[in-house]
Amino acid sequence: MKLVIGLDGASTGGKALDFAKHIAAKSTSCEMIVVYVIEWSPFSFQTAEENAQRHKRREEEIAIAMERVLNPAVAELTKAGLSARAIVRHGDVADTIDDIAHSEGADQIIVARSSAGGLTSRLFGSSTANLVMNARVPVTVVA
């Protein structure tokens, strides 16, 4: 079994991790892919200098997401004896999570619902509807 867990850096991400651990405990073999999506539009017109700065900013955002959100989540899962790894991507939240889940051959996507902002609040706007209605694998939204 392979699970994709979408985190946004909010405390509600713990609910998604807990639910994923619960599912993994029922499986003899489960790989967990913890995902953080930095919302980013590729559609902007910039100079070469602006593009260089944009690339630098993207790399900094990836490092921060790994350090603050994904590395602690993966450490928590591996401490519980589970197989876990992390992926950070830039892009549209729903499309990116779906693309990762599909390309990784995931069995399920797990995200937490939140009213505090971040990924899940964006998801519970048009992104959530898009993810739930258009994902190529089942989506579980944890309250």
Strand spans (E) along the chain? 2-7, 31-39, 83-91, 108-112, 139-142
What's the pLDDT tens digit per position in 108-137? 999 876 544 555 455 455 566 677 888 999
What's the pLDDT tens digit per position in 82-91? 999 999 998 8
| pTM exceeds 0.95, yes or no | no
Closest C-alpha among 70, 74, 71, 8 to residue 38: 8
Q: Where are the domains of the chain?
A: 2-142
Rounded CA separation 2/79 (Å): 18
CA 44 to chain centroid? 24
- CATH 3.40.50.300 for domain 2-142, yes or no, is no
Q: What is the DSSP letter of 70?
A: I
β-bridge mates for residue 88, sequence order: 36
